[in-house]
Every structure is written in structure tokens, then in C-alpha cells.
Amino acid sequence: MQVIDKRGVLQHLPQLTPVILELGCGCRKRVNNSIGIDIIDYECVDLVGDVCDVLREIPVGTVDRIYSHHFLEHVHNLELLLHEVARVMRIGGQLEVVVPHFANPYFYSDPTHRNHFGLYTFSYLAYDPLLKRKVPNYNKAAAFQLCDVDLVFKSSPPFYIRYGIKWLLGKMFNCCRYMQEFYEENLCYVFPCYEIRYVLKRVVVAGGGPF
């Protein structure tokens, strides 16, 4: 798919500091001074095209931060996307991802949702020093380290009273890693979580790796 650079962003990347990408930004950006990427040509989008095609136009190690909000659940090939994200990101760069939690009661209402996310999802895809329960990485070299993960409890407008109750639940279940893991094992379908936020850091791949 052809990539459309609406504002000549790609040629000016070497002069930008910091370089911040917002993947699947949709009709509004959530990060100031970010470069918006989306397959739909909304007004705020700077680079129009399939996200992997756009990332391939960006040189290795030039991006400082990448953010996405309710986008990764729509991606057909998550592993390929993370490979391209790792390729363009500087060592020490930050990846912040917000996606629906698998217990979100509205998750299955959207037929375009492809991927499910829970507390341990990025533990399979990155080096995880945070959570007690360990999962396999299927012998893949980790290009990211998991730095933080939060369970987000909220309700969509106009359910404001429910929102307040769920905010209190979030305070309780995010008070420590033990409570997060206890929640997802035992209570996730009793008190459904709305979304989950991960923060990861780009690290050097052991043995050189493919990046």
C-alpha cells in the first residue's frame, strides 16, 4: 500500500527532537507533537497508510517514543508490527500501549478486534521483571523490557456513577503486583476491567538479534 506523507514529515525526521509516533491515531491525537499514523486520512494524520508500510519508511533507531491507544487489538500481524516498532526505535526509547482488557464487556461487540490482551500478554513478547507468574517467550529474543502495567477500570459515558465505583476498584487492584495478578486469576469476570496500559523500554537484543 502506498504511503502518503501529507506534510513532508519523513524528510525532516533527522531534525526532529524528540521523534514521537502515534500509531492508529484516528481522528484525534492524544500526544502533543506526535506524528500521527493511520490508514484513514483524517485531518490530524501525518502519514497515511498501513502501519507496517509506514514504519518501513522510517530509518533504523530514529524514534524516541511510540504511543498507541486502542489500536493493537485491530492489527492482523502483531508480531510483525512489534518487529518494525523495535527496528525504528532508539535503544532506551519508550513504547506505551493502551488496549481493551479481554474482560471488557464491549470487546466482542467490535468485529474488527483481532487480538486479546491481558496482564501477561507482553510478558510473552518482552523481558518481564515485574510479574511473579512467569510465562514462556517461545525462544524469541526480547527487544523490549516491560516497565509498567496498569489495569484501568472505567465506564463509558454516560455511566458516571459506575465510573466512580470502578475507579475505586482500580485503586485497589493496582495497589501492588500481587493484587493485579490475584484480580486477573480470580475476579476479572466479576469486576470486568475496561482496558490495560503497558509501558515498555527498547533494549539491546541478546546476541545481536534481528534488529
Distance of alpha carbon 172 from alpha carbon 131, whole angstroms: 17
Q: What pLDDT, on a 0 to 100 scale, did the predictor assign at position 141?
A: 77
Is there a contact between 163 and 177 (Cβ–Cβ < 8 Å)?
no
Distances (CA, A) of 126 to 30, 81, 89, 101: 25, 14, 15, 18
Domain membership of residue 59 (yes or no) is yes
- Domain presence at residue 57: yes
Closest by Cα among 67, 50, 52, 62 to 10: 62
Tell me, yes or no, if the pTM score tops 0.85.
Answer: yes
Which H or E run includes 4? strand 4-5
pLDDT at residue 158, as a whole number: 76
Per the domain annotation, does 79 fall within a domain? yes
23-37 pLDDT, tens digit each:
999 999 999 999 999
Spell out the residues 6+ positions from residue 185 whose beta carbon is closer than 8 angstroms to its own: none
Instruction: State the sign of the Cα–Cα–Cα–Cα dihedral 206, 199, 193, 102.
Output: negative
Tally of structural domains, the chain: 1
Under a CB-based contact definition with an 8 Å cutoff, are residues 172 and 187 in contact?
Answer: no
- 4 — phi, psi (to 5°)? -105, 115
> Nearest 5°: CA angle at 77, between 71 and 1?
85
**DSSP-assigned letter for residue 59:** P
- Torsion sign (Cα): 97, 152, 124, 178: positive
43-81, pLDDT tens digit by residue?
999 999 999 999 999 999 999 999 999 999 999 999 999
Residue 11 lies in a domain: yes
- Residues belonging to the chain: 211
Residue 52 domain-assigned?
yes
Residue 207 domain-assigned (yes or no): no
pLDDT in tens, 71-91: 999 999 999 999 999 999 999
The β-bridge partners of 37 are: 23, 47
User: Does residue 166 belong to any structural domain of this protein?
Assistant: no
CATH number of 86's domain = 3.40.50.150
The reported pLDDT for the residue numbered 86 is 97
Q: Which domain holds residue 105?
A: 4-153+195-202
Beta bridge partners of 204: none
